[in-house]
Amino acid sequence: MKLKHWGTAALAAMLMTGSALAAEPKVLRYAFQIAETGFDPAKIGDIYSRIITAHIFEGLYSYDHLARPARLIPLTADGMPQHSEDFRTWTFKIKPGIFFADDPAFKGNKRELVAEDYLYAIKRVADPEVASSHWSEVEALGITGLAEYRAELRGGNKNFDYDRPIAGLRALDRYTLQLRLDKPRPRLPQTLAQTDLYGAMAREVVEAYPGKTMEHPVGTGPFVLKDWRRSSRIVLEKNPGYRERFYEAEPGADDAEGQVLLARFKGRRIPMIDRVEVSIIEEGQPRWLAFLGGEFDLLERVPNEFISQAMPNGKLAPNLAKRAMHGYRVLSPDVGFWVFNLEDPVIGGYTPERIALRRAISLASDMEQEIRVARRNQAIVAQSIYPPGTSAYDPAFKSEMSDYDPARAKALLEMYGYVDKDADGWRDQPDGKPLVLESLTTPDGSQRQIDELWQKSLAKVGLRVTFKPGKWPENYKALRAGKFQIWSLATSASMPDPQDFLSSLSSIYVGSQNFARIRLPAADRLFERTAPMPDGPERAALFRESERLMTAYMPYKHKAHRFITDLAQPQLIGYRRHPFKQDWWSYVDIEPVKKP
């Protein structure tokens, strides 16, 4: 090798250029297809807001990024928890030396994470003034004394006293917290691993910005919010004070992709990128074109109308492969469904004719056509509410939920008096009033096609449905308030345990996960029985019983489990969709593409 002499000026220029290149920030750019609602973990419920909060706040536990099936690991916790033999007392230790991101609320001090921060986050969910949609989940945990105190407040119109001792929420010392429960909860750590919902919060921050917690999130996580233009653009940057964490994972020995990722990144300090810029683009075509034009590093959830151009037959299109792009396709742990408001005067209720109407709508809905035409075969028909990846999912299970039978639908409607009384071509209610169904919807092209197919399917049996368009956050607000008749949406699993999905039938979850607002004693008993039980055949049988209840009363029409297809530009390295956790930015890198 020959050494070449460089002059001083040339050498200085070279060093400056190298330094500038090294300092170039690594930026991840992609788009959400639905707008966020805000960034207060206690107040949000939509998946897109939860993706953001998962990178700002940290729970006690998370999931191994590469392990399949999912494996729980400590995040801020110092090891796995200790629990009593009856699973009613849980003790968690926190690693010392973890700090919140800098914020003026801390008055120039470094603020260490302590046990009280997790207790405070739970108390906020219980505070009636916060109006958290997650209260029903926390209530179901049965934390000793918490529900009783909340009931006192609701009756006496008092403010929540965060300093009041709660028997089931105790900080044993600075780094140790203990939860005491009224009933056994064998899978409690899975609930607490929803870091996007149960991340630690600093009381000083909440009190420093009254009424602004949705726009001023401060956590211990790897990213901080730098800019937010509602429903338009969200910018986050790497938390400069984030502790030392390194890429560690345990993929299975037969997981070739996981082993390659581990070999490439093991031991790297995370996060590896410096900045994340998220746009909100609701229409599929602009998102697709922006990705092809290089504006985004990732096309998260390829729009169905472009699947054949992106991943025909499940393989990356040749023209995209030539551009060194990467394609990913997984069966998502989610379920799409229509929800019927059981408090609605037209479609709700428990009388035989109302149940018959909902079941007729189900039987008249051609899910195979929706999947084939509108979803471009990017889904499989759902037999129940329990999605792939949860312990209640059985790929061999078959139910009436998936049946398409217009003849049976017509027979049911006629049997219970839903006939065309005024000869206008549409069925009327048994009392002679016009029968017009109304569904919330969103104003995007793919949903319009789904709506049109459904409208035609119902028309074949004489049912008329109209649509009320609105932005997703507006529709979600109406859903929680019970001010709707029908809506089509989807929900995703956040843990392997299916208990959250059974909560869609539990009366204590009305206003949150119980979107249908169903109140059925038999369903409540199922929820109460399954929650404390260990996993096994007896618990599995109860989940099967819940599927029969759903089919019999039809508060929901479970539609499909979707395939999710993502595309990545060549510079995005290490991407892999996890079935449950939302915090993946720390595990990817942006590397300059070498030109030939």
CA distances from 529 to 290, 511, 568 (A): 50, 22, 44
Query: Is the pLDDT score of 321 beyond 90?
Result: yes
Give per-residue pLDDT as tens, 213-262.
Answer: 999 999 999 999 999 999 999 999 999 999 999 999 999 999 999 999 99
CA distances from 296 to 51, 156, 279, 532 (A): 17, 52, 9, 45
State the CATH number of the domain containing residue 547.
3.10.105.10
Does 353 lie in the same domain as 419?
Answer: yes
103 in a domain, yes or no? yes
Cis check for the bond before 596: say yes or no (omega within 30 of 0). no
Say how far apart CA 567 and CA 316 lie, in whole Å.
9
% of the chain at pLDDT higher than 90: 89
5 in a domain, yes or no? no
Does 369 lie in the same domain as 313?
Answer: no
Q: What is the pLDDT of residue 22?
A: 52
Beta carbons within 8 Å of 222's beta carbon, 6+ residues apart: 55, 238, 239, 242, 245, 270, 271, 583, 585, 586
- Residue-range definition of the domain harbouring residue 289: 245-332+564-590
State the CATH number of the domain containing residue 306.
3.40.190
Give per-residue pLDDT as tens, 79-104.
Answer: 999 999 999 999 999 999 999 999 99
Task: For residue 536, report the phi and psi dihedrals to the nearest 5 degrees.
Answer: 160, 180
DSSP bridge partners of 334: 492
Widest distance between CA atoms in the chain: 97
**What's the per-residue H, E or C state across 83-97?**
ECCCCCEEEEEECCC
Report pTM: 0.85
% of the chain at pLDDT higher than 70: 95
Burial class (CB in 10 A: 0-12, 13-18, 19+), 287: buried
Give per-residue pLDDT as tens, 394-432.
Answer: 999 999 999 999 999 999 999 999 999 999 999 999 999
Helix (H/G/I), strand (E/B), else coil: 503: helix
586 in a domain, yes or no? yes
Does 489 lie in the same domain as 389?
Answer: yes
Does 189 lie in the same domain as 105?
Answer: yes
Give per-residue pLDDT as tens, 210-223.
Answer: 999 999 999 999 99
27 in a domain, yes or no? no
State the CATH number of the domain containing residue 171.
3.90.76.10
CA distances from 312 to 283, 298, 305, 317, 551 (A): 21, 18, 12, 6, 35
The domain boundary residue, chosen from 202, 217, 232: 217
Does 441 lie in the same domain as 352?
Answer: yes
- Torsion of the alpha carbons at 531, 533, 534 and 538, rounded to the nearest 10: -120
Tokens 């994972």, residue located: 249
Does 310 lie in the same domain as 428?
Answer: no
Say how far apart CA 521 and CA 507 lie, in whole Å.
8
Does 285 lie in the same domain as 213?
Answer: no
Contact indicator for 156, 106 with CB cutoff of 8 Å: no
Find the DSSP H helices in 425-490: 445-459, 472-481
445 in a domain, yes or no? yes
Does 434 lie in the same domain as 349?
Answer: yes
Does 535 lie in the same domain as 570?
Answer: no
Helix (H/G/I), strand (E/B), else coil: 77: strand
406 in a domain, yes or no? yes
How is 112-155 classified by DSSP, letter by letter? B--HHHHHHHHHHHH-TTT--TTHHHHHHHTBTTHHHHHHHHHH
Domains in the chain, number: 3
Find the DSSP H helices in 202-331: 203-208, 256-265, 284-292, 307-310, 318-322
Does 538 lie in the same domain as 575?
Answer: no
| Mean per-residue pLDDT, 274-282 | 97
Contact indicator for 85, 595 with CB cutoff of 8 Å: no
Going by pLDDT thresholds of 50, 70 and 90, the confidence category of residue 593 is confident
**Residue whose C-alpha is closest to residue 584's, from 102, 66, 215:** 66
Q: What is the pLDDT of residue 445?
A: 83
Does 553 lie in the same domain as 442?
Answer: yes
Query: Is the pLDDT score of 12 beyond 80?
Result: no
Q: Dig out the tokens for 282 from the structure.
A: 């609701």
255 in a domain, yes or no? yes
How is 344-397 classified by DSSP, letter by letter? STTT-SSSHHHHHHHHHHHHH--HHHIIIIISTT-EEE-SSSPPTTSTT--TT-
Does 534 lie in the same domain as 477?
Answer: yes
Say how far apart CA 363 and CA 359 lie, in whole Å.
6
Give per-residue pLDDT as tens, 136-191.
Answer: 889 989 999 999 999 998 766 689 999 999 999 999 999 999 999 999 999 999 99
